[in-house]
Amino acid sequence: MNTGVNQSPNLFSEVYVLTTDGYIYKVNLNGTDPYGFIFFATNRGLIDTSNNTSLYMSVFAKNNECTQPAYNKFGEAIPVQFHKPNAPNTKYDKTYKIFWQ
């Protein structure tokens, strides 16, 4: 998403994620910088491709693109992938619906 501005006010919106099994989660954006970010919901999040496990952490790209490799907060390279929102769901990877209020 790109709101066109990189200044206050930051995004303090709440969104709702509807999972494929019917659960609804409220997510607070907690002051996300409103200029250029990716926001989607999956059942696994970011995946470490070296062992096919969920990362359970944020990563950063040095060029602000979703290209390999990504880096953790210590600057260590991590091979990551994610289930693309426009890809069909599989047995193990699912994309969830997001509703803005």
What is this structure's pTM?
0.69
Report the alpha-carbon angle 75-80-86, nearest 5: 135
Q: What is the pLDDT along the chain (101 residues), one digit of tens a residue?
A: 666 666 667 778 899 999 999 999 999 988 877 676 677 899 998 898 889 999 888 887 776 666 667 888 888 888 888 888 889 999 999 999 999 87
Tokens of 1: 């998403």
Pairing type for strands 53-54 and 95-100 reads: unpaired
| DSSP letter string, 47-89 | EETTTTEE--S--B-TTSSS-SPEE-TTS-EE-EE---TTSPP
Domains of the chain, residue spans: 1-44+88-101, 45-82
